Structure 1
Amino acid sequence: MGIKRGARRGLTRLVPRSLLSRMVIVLVIAVLAAQALSSLIWVAQIKTRNQENVLSMSNHLAFSIASTVRFFKSLPVEYRHIVLDQLRRMGGSRFFVTFNSELINISPTPDTDLKRWVLEEVDSVLQRELGRQVEIISEFSFAESLRVFNNDIRLLDLPPGWGHHSLLLHPQKTPILVVQIGLEKDEWLYLATLLPTPDGLIEGDYLPAERLWFMGITVILVVLSLFVVVRWLTRPLKLLSRAADELGKDIERPPLPEEGSTEVVAAARTFNSMQERIQRYIQDRETLFSAISHDLKTPITRLRLRAEMLDDDAQRGKFIQDLEDLDHMVHGALQCVKDTTVHENPVNIDLHYLLQQICEGADLQRKKVTLSGLLEQPFWGKPLALKRAFSNIIDNALFYGHQAEVFLEDVQEGVHVAVRDFGPGVPEMEQDRIFEPYVRLEKSRNRNTGGSGLGLSIARNIIHAHGGRLKVRNHEQGGFVVEVWLPRQYQEV
């Protein structure tokens, strides 16, 4: 099972992930399959046409051989050689003809379908025309190994005038059809000839190099054209993906252009509509919290005035403390909404200088903060939002650890910032809860606490709005570490 899973994972890694690559591969396979299918059809048609031509030629040739055999059989035996010599002096005939006292051994050519079709057609016609009692031996051979007289004399050993008028011996190496027919006892009629188109019997390459080169160039041109077209068609999807990523960083980004194909226009219109709904939701949320804060200020102020008029000092103190807690919670909730929805344009930021300002402000309050590390280039982001986020992280570290170390560096994925305090740390089971609003882990940190428990929650939301991530852990040598990674992709640095 482990081997199968490993093999399956290996195959999964080989499969391209992008839509462009997958579409190009599918189209390339389709083009190659179409080329292969068309080539198979091409070869099948050529073979069929070749077979029809060869069978037609073989049929006519067999009738000519039958006529020649009947002509020589009609002559008296003593006149056959005289007539044959006269034919040679006159330039010969279509066939190379000899009379032998024995059957000559023929060195056959390699077996092919075309050869088998010709021999079957010739034998069939000759047996039908001459009678099945006549002994007929047919075979193909090449000139260099063909013997013509009593197994001793080769065709190439004869004078040029004997066979060159009937047989094409040069320059192409073509098969020669030899038919031996038994006449009387100890007499064989030997006929050698070529097909009317002898090259048709040679099974050549149905897919020559020129055609393969043409197919290869065609496939390359088609693939390049498909790549350009598919890339053009999938470009709106990349823009949509980039817009979705940027929307998480800047809800006020310009809407997508509604242009292109019908499907792309519909997707862009839906995306823009979604962005408008999110913007309205955020605006309505801010308006709601502002209204609640404003409406609560008056009754809280009246309750505080009435509490001041209480005669019982103990009850008055408790009453005023509860009102202050309520007022603090209302302001904290409103501040949380404002800090996580910062309406400002992103600019190039010197993060080192921004962190240095925060650390210097802490030093003025006699809190020890050290900053180390540099960045090679500015960071593209919202300065006020990032300053609030890092201020909350550093203030949290100073509040619980009394002193903090801030480290800044460039990493492969962007910017890495680590803030370490020297407090008691946080149990691993409770670390995820510190990002929940109004949660303060009093038992694991410091009893003398303040604040509303919204600082790290606000910081994480701002970091996420910049496409980054925030993680926490306990330090090996004691204390608590908050780590921030901010990406640089899609940034105009």
Structure 2
Amino acid sequence: MTNRTRLSFGLLGRVFAILLIAIAIEFVVSTILYERAGQLRVREDEAHRVAEKLAIASRLMNAQPRMQRADLAERLSSEAFVVKWHPTRVPPVLLAAELGEMRAQIVSLEPALARSNLHLHLKSPGRSGIVMGQLGLNDGSWLEFKATQLVHPSKLRFNRFLLALIPAVALILIGGLLLRRVLAPMRMLTGAAERIGRGERVVLPEIGVFEIRRVVRAFNVMQARIHQLIIDRTEALASVGHDLRTPLARLQLRAEGIEDPALRTAIAKDLDEMEAMVASLLAFYGGDSDPEKPTQTDVAILVQTIVDDATDMGHPANYSGPDHLEAMLRPGALKRAVGNLVENAIKYADGAQVSLETAGDRIVVRVEDNGGGIPEEELLHVLEPFVRLDLARSRDTYGLGLGIPIAHRFALREGGVLRLTNRPSGGLRAELDLPRHAPQR
């Protein structure tokens, strides 16, 4: 599930992000340029109208007696252009820096306004773009105006931006859906790889674009070769194991006829070691093709049986935990894994303490010993096959170093984990953390 999520939000997410960023940049730039160009066109048109109205108003006011100018101002006013006459000078408002270009444009359209001491300012700087102003008449009176149709274009209109954003979002969503459809075979490929990792054989249909079809075809060929290699390896191991066990059995029968007890014991020990090595190799390399299916298993009884077998052979071992604990697991593989851990504890530390407990929907089989433990830097190393530490070899023990790797592989196949830690009081702690319901293959 995690890998599928990574693929979905990895390749698809990155392509989608590239598409999103490209469209967003193009949209923002084009919208700003469009708005700016449109505002410049509106400003030029409206500035021309305001310039004409100001020139007409100033000429009419200069020609009108002072007593009639207030009434004339009302008649000249409209909803878009409001005019007021003041007999004395109106307190000037500093010209806003951004309106300098607009003033120059109005004066260039009506040169007569250049001598009228024209001032422009914004009605509410920072909040409104409505332009207001004053200009002087010939007799020293002043004309104040408000051009509501003349809006300063320095800010982008947010509502128009949102309106233009709708088709861009629609295009992004459509592109994302198309990308998801194109990359569907990749998600199928990811799921198939996970299933193959659990031992299944999956033949994928060759669908999608040309490049993905080639990947799927190569994947099918690759997994066919891998499965054939596994089959050949398993058959060869089974054949070698059978061929080796036959002469081993004959040697064991012949060893019983040796009169010298010391020699007979030494040969029997060597034969037992050879038998254990063959069994370990078959268990490790034949595990991938193990036909065993999960069944309802009493894990507590199985673990107690392993401990009882060890005590019957004279080894110090004890069990603590429930008398019964049902779980859906592969009993043969579980017995082999726990048996290897118990055998290692007895072999390297002369004793094993085995416990069983539950943690939610998981079970934990814990095998502890009182030995010297494993160096911290080697805890991960011993999970690899054929690794035997110097400490083990110094104890004159036999084996190929496959006990812990077999338990580790079993835990992974069951959807669990094998944890190795050193106990604070000394010794090694091995924990098989397994789900109560093994994944189906």
Distance 2:308 2:249 in 1: 36
Deviations 1:407-445 (A, max 9, x none): 234458954322123456566687655965495867678
C-alpha contact (below 8 Å) 1:97/1:189 kept by paired residues = no
Change (3 A) 1:409 1:26: farther
Amino acid at match of 1:57: R
Question: Which of these residues, 46, 51, 74, is aligned with residue 38 of structure 2?
Answer: 46
Distance 1:378 1:57 in 2: 88
Distance 1:291 1:99 in 2: 115
Q: How much does 1:480 deviate?
A: 3.5
C-alpha contact (below 8 Å) 2:136/2:142 kept by paired residues = yes
Q: How much does 1:293 deviate?
A: 4.1
Q: How much does 1:49 deviate?
A: 0.6
Normalising by structure 2, report the TM-score: 0.66
Change (3 A) 1:438 1:341: farther
Matching residue of 1:161: none
Matching residue of 2:118: 138
Find out whether 1:111 has 2:95 as its counterpart.
yes
Q: How much does 1:287 deviate?
A: 2.1
Find out whether 1:211 has 2:203 as its counterpart.
no
Change (3 A) 1:93 1:305: closer
Matching residue of 1:56: 48
Change (3 A) 1:407 1:199: same
Matching residue of 1:279: 227
Alignment of 1:228-247 (within 5 A): 237-247=186-196
Distance 2:58 2:152 in 1: 27
Higher Cα Rg, which structure: 1
- SS of equivalent residue, structure 2 residue 227: helix
Taking only the aligned residue pairs, the percentage that are identical comes to 25
C-alpha contact (below 8 Å) 2:340/2:404 kept by paired residues = yes
Alignment of 1:446-457 (within 5 A): 454-457=402-405
Alignment of 1:182-331 (within 5 A): 188=139, 192=143, 198-203=147-152, 207-208=156-157, 210-211=159-160, 214=163, 237-248=186-197, 250-295=198-243, 324=271, 328=275, 329-330=277-278
Matching residue of 2:3: none
C-alpha contact (below 8 Å) 1:106/1:141 kept by paired residues = no
Distance 2:163 2:133 in 1: 35
Deviations 1:59-80 (A, max 9, x none): 65577579869x96xxxxxxx8
Q: How much does 1:278 deviate?
A: 1.9
Amino acid at match of 1:275: Q
Q: How much does 1:463 deviate?
A: 2.9
Question: Which of these residues, 418, 421, 432, is aligned with residue 470 of structure 1?
Answer: 418
C-alpha contact (below 8 Å) 2:382/2:404 kept by paired residues = no
Deviations 1:377-434 (A, max 9, x none): 845x533222221222223334555543222344589543221234565666876559
Question: Which of these residues, 120, 124, 145, is aligned with residue 104 of structure 2?
Answer: 120
Normalising by structure 1, report the TM-score: 0.61
Matching residue of 2:135: 178
Question: Which of these residues, 267, 271, 285, is aligned with residue 337 of structure 1?
Answer: 285
User: Which shows bigger deviation, 278-287 or 22-31?
Assistant: 22-31
Distance 1:461 1:97 in 2: 91
- SS of equivalent residue, structure 2 residue 118: strand
Distance 1:98 1:340 in 2: 96
C-alpha contact (below 8 Å) 2:386/2:402 kept by paired residues = yes
Supply the RMSD in Å over aligned alpha carbons: 5.7
Q: How much does 1:479 deviate?
A: 4.1
Amino acid at match of 1:180: L
Matching residue of 1:385: 333
Question: Which of these residues, 14, 37, 41, is aligned with residue 29 of structure 2?
Answer: 37
Q: How much does 1:279 deviate?
A: 1.3
Q: How much does 1:204 deviate?
A: 6.9
Q: How much does 1:286 deviate?
A: 1.7
- SS of equivalent residue, structure 1 residue 111: coil
Distance 1:28 1:245 in 2: 31
Q: How much does 1:284 deviate?
A: 1.2
Matching residue of 2:126: none
Q: How much does 1:53 deviate?
A: 0.7
Q: How much does 1:220 deviate?
A: 6.7
Amino acid at match of 1:203: H
Matching residue of 1:418: 366
Equivalent residues, number? 419
Change (3 A) 1:58 1:174: closer
Distance 1:99 1:318 in 2: 128
Amino acid at match of 2:202: P
Q: How much does 1:44 deviate?
A: 0.9
Matching residue of 1:460: 408
User: Which shows bigger deviation, 114-123 or 286-295?
Assistant: 114-123
Distance 1:58 1:384 in 2: 95
Matching residue of 2:319: 370
- SS of equivalent residue, structure 1 residue 343: coil
Distance 1:330 1:97 in 2: 108
Change (3 A) 1:108 1:362: same
Alignment of 1:74-85 (within 5 A): none
Distance 1:327 1:401 in 2: 22
Change (3 A) 1:108 1:364: same
Unaligned runs of 5+ in 2: 1-7, 124-129
Q: How much does 1:41 deviate?
A: 1.5
Deviations 1:331-373 (A, max 9, x none): 5544543346423344565544543443455466566431326
Distance 1:260 1:268 in 2: 9
Q: How much does 1:324 deviate?
A: 3.7
